[in-house]
Amino acid sequence: MTEPFHPADNAPAPRPNFVLIGFMGSGKSSIGRILATKLGFPMVDTDALVVEAAGMQITDIFAWKGEEVFRDYESKVLRALVDRAVHGTVISTGGGIVLRPQNVALLHELGFVVLLTANEDVLFERVSRNKTRPLLHTPNPRETVSQLLAGRAPLYTAAADFTLDTSARSHTQAADAMIAEARGRFPLWNPGF
């Protein structure tokens, strides 16, 4: 007697997207790069896609066109990733991506949403290393970080499938923790190592 044929047996194992969200300085880009290298996945960054779409740097978009125009670009590039049905990709997002509820729905359509966190002092120390974040061009950036974080924390938590504190983890440890979590959640996916 022949074995019954299960089409699912021959289906390619789904390669999930890892969608990284979190406050500025939480490590989305740097940890995302390590994660992508480990997995052999490409990486995209919504900030970079916005710069490409707008043809100008983020500080210039904020200065000349305002935050709402930046947010419109951000939603547009996120929508485009969903429309392209990207898969097997590490997607790093801008820290304000969760501000629009429609973006949160798109994040979930894209894949496994990982919230990277760090304590406030660590975040501030990390964002102080470069001055490319227009929202922190204020008289008291430390206080601005505090206020933005307090307002956004519930939005980040609500949007996350999984939360990882990066304060005391190396980039490699953080990437490994995400892979370990994803293995459990995507049993058909075999990262091959």
Give the residue from 9, 6, 17, 21 showing the smallest Cα distance to 162: 21
Considering the complex, state which of residue 91 and residue 191 has its C-beta at the smaller distance from ligand S3P.
91
Give the residue from 19, 181, 15 showing the smallest Cα distance to 94: 19
Total of chain residues touching ligand S3P, rule CB under 6 A: 10
Match 């896609």 to its residue by tokens: 49
134 binds ligand S3P (CB under 6 A): yes
Structure tokens at 127: 């964002």
**Cβ atoms of residues 17 and 88 within 8 Å:** yes
Q: Which DSSP category does 134 fall into?
A: G
Q: How far is the CB of 97 from ligand S3P (least distance, A)?
A: 7
Indicate if the alpha-carbon torsion angle 178, 180, 182, 188 is positive or negative: positive
Q: Give the number of other CB atoms < 10 A from CB of residue 87.
A: 13
Structure tokens at 88: 């097997």
**Cβ atoms of residues 93 and 107 within 8 Å:** yes
Which of the ranges 132-140, 156-164, 167-175, 182-190 carries the binding residues for ligand S3P, by CB under 6 A? 132-140
Q: How far is the CB of 188 from ligand S3P (least distance, A)?
A: 31
48, 135, 149, 155: which one binds ligand S3P (CB under 6 A):
135
Angstrom distances, CA of residue 79 to CA of 66, 85, 112: 21, 10, 16
24 binds ligand S3P (CB under 6 A): yes
145 binds ligand S3P (CB under 6 A): no
27 binds ligand S3P (CB under 6 A): no
x/- binding map, residues 2-21, to ligand S3P, per CB under 6 A?
--------------------
113, 133, 145, 164: which one binds ligand S3P (CB under 6 A):
133
Q: How far is the CB of 47 from ligand S3P (least distance, A)?
A: 5
For the CA atoms of the chain, what is the radius of gyration? 18
x/- binding map, residues 64-103, to ligand S3P, per CB under 6 A?
------------------------------xxx-------
Catalog residues that contact ligand S3P under the rule CB under 6 A: 24, 28, 47, 58, 94-96, 133-135
